[in-house]
Structure formats: structure tokens, C-alpha cells
Amino acid sequence: MPSPLILSVEEFSVMVVSLIICMDPSGLVGNGDKLPWDVSEDMQWFIKNTRHKAIVMGRKTFQGIGRALPGRLNIMLTNSGKSGIEGVEDFNDLRAAIRSANARGYTEVVIAGGPELYRYALDLNLVDKIYLTTLKQRYEGDTYFKHETLMTLSDRLGSGDFTMVSGWTLESERTTSLARYRVFTRVRFPGSKLVLDSATKRHY
């Protein structure tokens, strides 16, 4: 079992763990190992919000892309070996990946899918920030992500106060003819400890 890492809020305050996701109105996110859509404005949103940051993706998602994304620290999570993709680092532990990025001076780690990894990060309470794209049109595909947190945020299409509902605050919102782009944040309580080990959840 990996040794526990306990960091004070002061030590870890420069690190934000984010999640970026694009879904259609039914929670569809994938088709095979690809996205079900080709929406360039969402791709621009993805590039803008991940550039110069560390990105972490599951093996299937990375294999679907097939290459490292330029201008970012590329990390692939896998329990089954090496990616073999040039410029992509492999980890079998998300917390170790976050620590590694933090130690190299990255102040934001963006978890970029797919659903298996999204669920893991949300259930461990690791996520501070969510970049959520909700497409207006429905698409065809085979992979859905219907995590309670995401569906709660996604369903509340107005720009009301999320804090009372779910602990999340709507930080920004932009709507186009194709999609709604929203950023949600959650604030850690001062004086709390961040605990990262395999048995313990993150505490706020």
C-alpha cells in the first residue's frame, strides 16, 4: 500500500484539480474511443482551458487521441503497462500523478476523461473545479456519464446559486448557438487538511 501523503492546505493551496467534460443533453460523452461530435468551438474551449497545464486521461481516451497534446504535461492512467506514446507519462495512481505534476511546478491538473476516470476523481472528492460544456443537440454514441454531481450541475441550466444545492459555485457562463460553457468551483474550508492515500478520501 502506498504511504499516506498528508499536505497542509498551505502546502497544497497552489494546486487546483479540475475536470473538463463535454456532454450532450442526455449525458452522452463518447462513441468507441472517440468523441461523438466534431465541434470546433468546444475544441477551442478545451485547448484554452488545458494549455500550459497538466492533463490526465484514462488509457482508452489517450489511445483514441493517439498522441501527446502539445503545450501540456500529458499523463495517462493505466494499470496495464506503458502507453508507448511519445511524450506521454504513465501512472497507475491518480494521486501520484497529481503529486508529480505539483512537484514540477504545475498549479492546475485537468482530468480530461473518460468516464471511468471522471467517476474515480469525483468519488474520491478530488475535484475543485469543473469545466462543463453542455451541447444543445443530441448525438449518437455508446458512452454516457451520469454521475450525480455532473447531472445536478448540468440540469440546473439557469445561473442561480448552486452553493446551497450542491456545494458548487457557478464561476462563469457563456452560451452560443451550439453549447453552454460553464465553470463551477468548490472552495476548501480554511484550516482543513488534504489527505491523499489509497484508503482515505480528500477532506475539506
Ligand X SMILES: NC(=O)c1ccc[n+]([C@@H]2O[C@H](COP(=O)([O-])OP(=O)(O)OC[C@H]3O[C@@H](n4cnc5c(N)ncnc54)[C@H](OP(=O)(O)O)[C@@H]3O)[C@@H](O)[C@H]2O)c1
Among 50, 53, 55, 59, binds ligand X (CB under 6 A): 59
Spatial CB neighbours of 170, under 8 Å, sequence gap ≥ 6? 159, 160, 162, 182, 183, 184
Among 22, 39, 55, 135, binds ligand X (CB under 6 A): 22
3-state secondary structure (DSSP) of residue 128: coil
Q: How many CA atoms lie within 13 A of 74 on its CB side?
A: 17
CB 169 within 8 A of CB 191: no
Tell me, rounded to whole angstroms, the distance of Cα 30 from its chain centroid.
15
* Interface region with ligand X, contact rule CB under 6 A, candidates 1-9, 53-61, 101-109, 175-183: 53-61
Residue 113 binding ligand X, by CB under 6 A: yes
> Given the complex with ligand X, which of 120 and 204 has the nearer CB atom?
120
Distance CA 64, CA 29 (A): 13
Residue 56 binding ligand X, by CB under 6 A: no
Among 9, 25, 96, 120, binds ligand X (CB under 6 A): 120
Residues forming the site for ligand X (CB under 6 A): 21-23, 29-35, 57-61, 64, 77-80, 92, 94, 112-117, 120, 143
